[in-house]
Structure 1
Amino acid sequence: MAYKDWYVEGPAFGNCNCGYSCPCQFEEDPTHGNCRGFEVMEITKGHFEDFELTGLKVAVLYAWPGPIYEGKGEMQLIIDPAASPAQRAALETVLTGGETDEEATHWWVFRAMCPTLHDTVFESIDFTSDMEARTASVKIGDVLASSGRPIKPPHSDGEHRVRIDMPNGIEFSVAEVGNASTKGTTAIALDLKDSYGQWHFMKHGPHGVVH
């Protein structure tokens, strides 16, 4: 099937309510039986047909009452207010799995498993991250604040480093794992403390992750 030509890449950071070894990455049920969290991305290179997307920032919030594959979830997008109407429409399409092969990206799966799609929020997104150091800072207007840091072993002041390598992943190829905390007050409220943090370099197109 032919799709509109689009591509986005850039650093991404996320936080969910699972333990450090997020079971969803291993085809297991979530740590607490349910799943809620968010991800944020800076598009350092991107386009949708003739519309440039480079320089824009986006976030996706999500929540499910049980495992993702059982559905019944809800989803909400946050888009940089600097985006033009055409850019906003393009990003809403991409972030909800439009113009994409079935099951090719986690965005496609998230939307398929979320019968509720809340109205998009347009707020300034201040996002900095260092994948190698496993650090991140996120502030989205007055509606969300998040931070990430390396995992600290309980027996020392050192740093514990773990990576997830997924050659055929639908979200990333390699991700760094760390500790993250988030508070959010949009339609999908978040109150996460010292749970799963994820850093990776996103590369998505109509046919999935560019590995």
Structure 2
Amino acid sequence: MTTTLQQLPVGQVPWEIRGELILNCNCTVFCPCVVSLGKHAPTEGYCQAWAGVRIDEGHYGDTPLSGLNVGLLLEIPGLMARGNWTAAAFIDDRAGPEAHEALVHIFSGAARGTTGLFGMLVSDFLGAESAPVTFETEGKTRRLTVGRKIQGEVVPVRGADPDQDIVVRNTEYWMGPDITVATATRGRVRAFGRVWDFDGRSAEICAIDWRGPGR
């Protein structure tokens, strides 16, 4: 009997996601985790963040993921590398049952690969909810909306040359090597008992090319 990719155990299914990620956290200036690789504490001593992922091209085994979006909520009590994270995911309600399950595997870390670190660092996964998740781009502005739970908008920080973004390049950061320095013009979270307002705080924009189960 032939085994399809979808019949492989979780953690052995090949997957890939290419697109863009935006993130807004409570740091007052650009997140120090990017260049310290989690060895420097967030500016407030702890991290609270929301993030959005736009999947331009992607698959999990035989299941296509292209065109879907994901929202994330993250809490880190101190140094990123020390773990004990709390996390939750909001899966695009346009995803069918197989795609929904695939995205839960990927963003819980169970699928291993790039996001496998979630499985090691997250001690409290609050769950994955199906929700209307939109990721919009207008000029240099990116917007994430997850129903009434997350309303986010980020823009690149203005540089000396307004036509050139400020980009931290060639990092070993897990999200991707090149991180655009940004700020949130809107960063509201009302979910899982959290009420956050991070307008004007640190934000990041990053092209992603994630895969698994190997790196």
Structure 1 length-normalised TM? 0.84
Q: Is the CA contact (8 Å cut-off) linking 2:107 and 2:118 kept in structure 1?
A: no
Structure 2 length-normalised TM? 0.83
**SS of equivalent residue, structure 2 residue 127:** coil
TM-fit CA distance, 1:77: 0.3
Q: Which amino acid aligns with 2:152?
A: S
Q: Is the CA contact (8 Å cut-off) linking 2:168 and 2:180 kept in structure 1?
A: yes
**SS of equivalent residue, structure 1 residue 31:** coil
Q: Is the CA contact (8 Å cut-off) linking 1:5 and 1:49 kept in structure 2?
A: yes
Q: Which amino acid aligns with 2:27?
A: C
- Using the alignment, how far apart are the partners of 1:32 and 1:159 within structure 2? 31
**Cα gap change, 1:188 to 1:182, in 2 (>3 Å):** farther
Matches within 5 A, 1:76-87: 76-87=88-99
- Using the alignment, how far apart are the partners of 2:45 and 2:130 within structure 1? 31
- Using the alignment, how far apart are the partners of 1:14 and 1:177 within structure 2? 10
**Cα gap change, 1:188 to 1:173, in 2 (>3 Å):** farther
Q: Which runs of 5+ in 2 are unaligned?
A: 1-10
TM-fit CA distance, 1:144: 1.0
Q: Which runs of 5+ in 1 are unaligned?
A: none
- Using the alignment, how far apart are the partners of 1:188 and 1:37 within structure 2? 14
**SS of equivalent residue, structure 1 residue 166:** coil
Q: Which amino acid aligns with 2:31?
A: C
Q: Is the CA contact (8 Å cut-off) linking 1:75 and 1:111 kept in structure 2?
A: no
| Matching residue of 1:71 | 83
TM-fit CA distance, 1:91: 0.5
| Matching residue of 1:186 | 191
TM-fit CA distance, 1:198: 0.9
Deviations 1:118-164 (Å, cap 9, x if unpaired)?
Answer: 1212111121136xx542112111111011123258xx9x7894211
- Using the alignment, how far apart are the partners of 1:188 and 1:109 within structure 2? 25
Does residue 185 of structure 2 align to residue 177 of structure 1?
Answer: no
Does residue 65 of structure 2 align to residue 49 of structure 1?
Answer: no
**% identity of equivalent residues:** 21
**SS of equivalent residue, structure 1 residue 95:** helix
**SS of equivalent residue, structure 1 residue 43:** strand
**SS of equivalent residue, structure 2 residue 41:** coil
| Matching residue of 2:17 | 8
TM-fit CA distance, 1:167: 4.8
**SS of equivalent residue, structure 2 residue 87:** strand
Q: Is the CA contact (8 Å cut-off) linking 2:34 and 2:171 kept in structure 1?
A: no
Q: Which amino acid aligns with 2:207?
A: F
- Using the alignment, how far apart are the partners of 1:129 and 1:40 within structure 2? 12
Deviations 1:13-42 (Å, cap 9, x if unpaired)?
Answer: 111111332111122111110011021111
Q: Is the CA contact (8 Å cut-off) linking 1:62 and 1:188 kept in structure 2?
A: no
Q: Is the CA contact (8 Å cut-off) linking 1:44 and 1:55 kept in structure 2?
A: yes
**Cα gap change, 1:70 to 1:183, in 2 (>3 Å):** same
| Matching residue of 2:8 | none
Q: Is the CA contact (8 Å cut-off) linking 1:72 and 1:115 kept in structure 2?
A: yes
**SS of equivalent residue, structure 1 residue 176:** strand
Paired residue total: 198
- Using the alignment, how far apart are the partners of 1:115 and 1:151 within structure 2? 33
Does residue 139 of structure 2 align to residue 127 of structure 1?
Answer: no
